[in-house]
Structure 1
Amino acid sequence: MDLIMTDFLTPSDREKLKTWSQSLKIEYRFKFRASIIWKLQVEQLSVTEVADKLETTSKTVRKWRHRFLEKGTKGLLDAPRSGSPQTFTLSQHCELIALACDQPQTEGESGGSWTVDELTLEELDQEFKAWCDDRNRQSITIKWQFTTANACIKLHSLYPKLTVEN
């Protein structure tokens, strides 16, 4: 049987949890986590009762209870993730947000609003155009490794062999 949490909330923690669990403007994951602690702490429900009310598992309730007991309300925030570093720099992230705030120039399947795929393609298109403009401005030429005649000699195995019949 799961134990009910004893009341040890500070007034500021209590206010934060109340605000987060009842807010309509906070991200759902934070609202959900705060609701778990609110129901355990203030409503004095057991882990299984909270899991039933919030339609989640007891394991999830215990996880957030444990994180809250260890770190307080800071424990309800996302933990740092391992893995590959960020793909976008901060400035690229800001540019993408600015782009997303503009209306798309053509209305596609999304009906005049951006989809993730459209945003990514639009940003890549803008970056490619900027790269081309920069290269053209600098008059950068391409240095080919060999001539067409050398290509035929070096890549002869890729070309079909033709024989002429008389």
Structure 2
Amino acid sequence: MTIRINGSDHALPDDPRTTLLDFLRYDLSLNGTKKGCDHGQCGACTVLVNGMRINSCLSLAAMHDGDSVTTIEGIGTPDAPSKLQAAFVEHDGYQCGYCTPGQICSATAMLEEIELGWPSDASEDLTGDMSVSANEIRERMSGNLCRCGAYPNILSAIQDVAGGDAA
């Protein structure tokens, strides 16, 4: 049983009770993914599994045999940051930085969802083009909490990358 993480294959842990979050942090030393609430309510542990965002604290590693997982470390590096990572720095979309990896992973998937035309509760039309309005971003990012309250800057960073409306 193997799992692909940031482009490299790894054997799944022997203990089937190991969460994906604990496997990433403790077995693979990928410490960018954070353990916040450990109940799936804060989004600090958000990673991408086959391109879809999930809370890794709520998912067992054993459930992901053959899956491809992308963590913040797989999105960009300090020397070659992704557009979202660079925008978060430019717009000061973080304060303490604890939630930032989950925010960036979630925003990465969110922008793909919009590009694919997936509606949200805030979408004006279920079948037309999706806009990248502030309300759309707020709705789609509502599962990621920031205790420091950097939401306006997070929104600005995402809008900068998405080319969305400021309204």
Instruction: Please give the range of the TM-score, normalised by the shorter of the 2 chains.
Output: under 0.3
Whichever structure has more helix as a proportion of its residues is 1
TM-score in terms of structure 2 length? 0.20
Which structure is richer in relative contact order (CA contacts within 8 A, separation 6 or more)? 2
| Larger CA Rg, structure 1 vs 2 | 1
Q: Name the one with the larger strand percent.
A: 2
What TM-score does the superposition give when structure 1 sets the normalisation length?
0.20
